[in-house]
Copies of this chain bind each other. A is one copy, B any other.
């Protein structure tokens, strides 16, 4: 149980125990290369360290070295979405491998909390800050964010004054559509997200590019906007199937839409994938993998974005650069499951 507040021994205590100076102990503990400490001495020191339960005081070290080895991770409510974990995981893992800690703050979409969060992180002298949004969007980050190396994750600011990493929506849309084309589909429906948001714009562009590359004419009748919810998919796909020339495959802008589309198709008397092929987007494991048939989809690079953000920060910390901040388009990856087949007939 919680031991009573007994404070840890200091480096001086260790030094005293082995009758050496704190300097030497410090050399041993930090394995300073230019100090030629003989093996025998090192052992004595380490023994005393173990014996006393010595633990270097991080605060003292930070104060002295001015390096906190800490990165701030601020989120706009992201922590409550199913993807949050992956982003944090990617960021945290790479940070850990480089001896950095992550301080996570969920600002809950509240601008004043956001600014306060950044302020606190700055007080803690974080070496960099990642600001992660809940979904791909434009944001207006607080001005104090730029006091330290910072990167935007799954979002970007209008003036591009901050580096950012976002999913390659165009590439993802292209990937998904190509999956269908590769199986021989030529009449491909698209149930997109709400118009205007980056994901919808990008995925549509990818869809069109894929069609163009395959020499298939774009037919506006085949593209519809769902509401990113399952019941959107339910109704939209039925509309699509009522067309004079219905699609043989449908690209759903979201796995949830696809989930609705499955139901819509079923109630329409059509089977996936025998009658209609379906691809989703997002790879929400929990839906995509457990739908029957399992959904072929495209995974959003959450884990990778987390890693990229930290890597970028790491570089910037090591060597500040004045080049204009990049926007990284992190590729999406296809997840092949069972919802796609060549068109019937």
Contacts and interface: CB of A to CB of B under 8 A. Distances in A.
Given A266-B266, A286-B287, 7 more contacts: A5-B320, A79-B86, A88-B106, A89-B106, A96-B106, A104-B104, A260-B292
Given A58-B124, A234-B292, A287-B287, A89 B93 contact: no
Contact of A105 (B79, B85, B101, B284): B101
B56 A230 contact: no
A160 to B, nearest CB: 11
Contacts of A66: 7
Nearest to A2: B149
Interface of A: 1-5, 7, 55-60, 62-63, 66, 68, 73, 78-82, 84-86, 88-89, 92-93, 96, 101-106, 108, 113, 117, 120, 122-125, 146-150, 161-162, 229-231, 234, 256, 259-260, 263, 266, 284-287, 290-292, 316, 320-322, 325
Contacts of A113: 96
A306 B148 CA distance: 30
A63 B57 CA distance: 8
Chain B CB within 10 A, most for which of A2, A57, A96, A284: A2
A125 B85 CA distance: 25
Contacts of A234: 292
Contacts of A117: 96
List 8 A-B pairs, minimum CB-CB distance, nearest first: A230-B290, A84-B85, A82-B82, A59-B62, A2-B149, A79-B85, A59-B63, A79-B89
Contact of A286 (B89, B149, B256, B320): B256
Contacts of A266: 266
A133 B326 CA distance: 37
A105 to B, nearest CB: 6
B55 A122 contact: yes
Contact of A58 (B101, B125, B162): B125
A78 B85 contact: yes
Contacts of A105: 92, 96, 101-102
A48 to B, nearest CB: 18
Contacts of A229: 290
Contacts of A322: 1
Contacts of A55: 122-123
B120 A1 contact: no
A271 to B, nearest CB: 11
A54 to B, nearest CB: 11
B161 A1 contact: yes
A58 B104 CA distance: 17
A134 to B, nearest CB: 10
A117 B88 CA distance: 16
